[in-house]
Amino acid sequence: MEPQPEIERALEALVVQLREAGGANLLGIALYGGLAKGRFTPGVSDVNVLIVVAEAGLERMLALAPPLTAALRDFRIVPFVVTPEDLRASARLFPGKIFDIQESHRLLWGDVHLSGIQISAEDLLLRARQEVKNTELRLRLRAVERGGDPDALWRGLMGSLPKIAVTLETLLRLKGLSVPADRPGILRLARRELGLAPEQVEPFVPLRRVDSRPEDGEVRRLYAAWLDLLGFLSRRLEESAG
């Protein structure tokens, strides 16, 4: 991944602004998501920032609104504002998200209160099963609702691919494996570890959200193959849950 000096400067400025706006209520700030992992596409990827506060009442949030609104508008910096109690609850309700932040974040300032939060393997596996099946069902419905429109199918495929890659990353980490930083590496490692055939995975390895949409027939072929792959993954995960 190429260095992103403009975004790094924006993050430094945001930390200063949030410290001024939040005062003692601000506990910590961390970068997570694609930029923290080294897979980031300028102009396409969001910049995900965890902001931990002691209290999250309306007045406290409105104090943070001006710098956060400007950062979102100018640099696609998307805040995730939580209290320590929220983080503990989210570890049970959204275990995949909190696990991903724990595993791949860069502290920008303070204490983001991630240490000591325990996430069970059972909760992570259940969330992975839910994510894969939910994605399969939503994409199936999209094809019907949009009448097979190639533009809609392409957006659905490319929107879901990064999310499924994060889910696969979680499954690989649960196996104690060292996970590559790049999405192609994750997909290929998942193929080997989950017993997928090369032809099931390889068509999706080179795809990027900045790519031009292929011809209509190729879009439909890829979308059908993606649905088949999601169905296979769902069945494999259900079998493993036994």
What is the CATH number for 82? 3.30.460.10
Reported as a single tens digit per residue, the pLDDT across 155-193 is: 999 999 999 999 999 999 999 999 998 999 999 999 999
User: Is residue 198, in this structure, part of any structural domain at all?
Assistant: yes
Looking at the fold, whether 106 and 198 belong to one and the same domain comes out as no
Domain count, the chain: 2
Q: What is the DSSP letter of 127?
A: H
Looking at the fold, whether 17 and 93 belong to one and the same domain comes out as yes
Give the pLDDT confidence score for residue 47 in this predicted structure. 97
Tokens 């959200």 correspond to: 209
Non-local (6+) Cβ contacts of 81 within 8 A are 51, 52, 53, 56, 61, 64, 68
Looking at the fold, whether 84 and 138 belong to one and the same domain comes out as no
Looking at the fold, whether 205 and 172 belong to one and the same domain comes out as yes
Could you tell me the pLDDT band of residue 241, with boundaries at 50, 70 and 90? confident
Query: Does 106 score more than 70 pLDDT?
Result: yes
User: What is the rounded CA–CA span in Å between residue 59 and residue 56?
Assistant: 8
Reported as a single tens digit per residue, the pLDDT across 198-210 is: 999 999 999 998 8
Average pLDDT, integer, range 117-146: 96
Give the pLDDT confidence score for residue 38 in this predicted structure. 87
pTM of the predicted model as reported, rounded to 2 decimal places:
0.85
User: 77: helix, coil or strand?
Assistant: strand
Helix axes 58-75 and 5-22, enclosed angle (nearest 10): 170
Mean pLDDT of the chain: 95
Query: Does 138 score more than 70 pLDDT?
Result: yes
User: Is residue 130, in this structure, part of any structural domain at all?
Assistant: yes
Report CA torsion sign: 70, 71, 73, 74: positive
